[in-house]
Amino acid sequence: MLEKLKEAVFKANLELVDQNLVIYTWGNVSGYDPEKKLLVIKPSGVSYDIMKASDMVVVDLDGNVVEGKMRPSSDTPTHVALYQKYPELRGVVHTHSEWATSWAEAERDIPVYGTTHCDYFYGDIPCTRQLTKEEIEGKYEYNTGLVIIETLKNRNIKALEVPGINVGHHGPFTWGTSPVDAVHNAKVMEEVAKMAYRAEKINPQARKVSQDLLDKHYLRKHGKNAYYGQK
């Protein structure tokens, strides 16, 4: 079942390692099939160097395992919540990459200081509030997804315009139009987190880009009249 998606999710998980976004068994990637309304995700706690495409687990949008011999990632309910709310997503990634996670631990948005950031994220990368005691003691992972959704809604952010977020005191989640696109956004988020930190160290009064510059760089790549790259 979903053999092509399993292969894509498997390769995207290995890309996390190749891009130095995870160590040990940290992190996970999922992919979503909107026709079957099923997602494929990395198995929980399995080392990347022994993992196979056939180990990927198929889960429905109620969080039930449909196919797979292993338990799915413990973060599966977060992925489920995001696919339930945003059916346009085709891939979701969670890492504890060090630069992005540092902003999460500081409970700060990653400010849009430069055009590298503008090319991928249409504004600051938000940080959610910390989950409450009740949310932590309840359906913790699903509630993590709900606090992501809450933050995007409260800030009037479209998911694919700002394809990533930090969960306060936890770490980054990113998403995209495919599993590998979600990994790509995770790598970009890590790099702009590093650049933003350095910008503030070099100049504590660093200013964010103007709206004009943000619009230019984001829309030339993602707008209806985009002209970046090849047709």
Is 120 one of the annotated active-site residues of the chain? no
CB distance 36 to 103 below 8 Å: no
**How many angstroms separate the CA atoms of 223 and 217, rounded?**
10
In which residue are the tokens 């160290």 written? 201
Strands (E), 90-180: 91-94, 164-167, 171-176
Q: Which tokens go with 131?
A: 């989950």
Exactly one of 18, 60, 140, 228 is catalytic; name it.
228
Is 228 one of the annotated active-site residues of the chain? yes
Query: Which parts of 86-139 fold into alpha helices (H)?
Result: 98-105, 115-118, 133-137
Long-range CB pairs of 131-134 (<8 Å, 24+ gap) are 131/167, 131/168
Exactly one of 119, 142, 197, 215 is catalytic; name it.
119
**Phi, psi values for residue 99, rounded to 5°:** -75, -45
**Phi, psi values for residue 92, rounded to 5°:** -135, 140
Instruction: Decide the pairing of beta strands 38-41 and 57-60.
Output: antiparallel
Closest CA to 173 of 96, 93, 97: 93
**How many angstroms separate the CA atoms of 8 and 2, rounded?**
10
**How many angstroms separate the CA atoms of 63 and 5, rounded?**
18
Active site residues: 119, 228
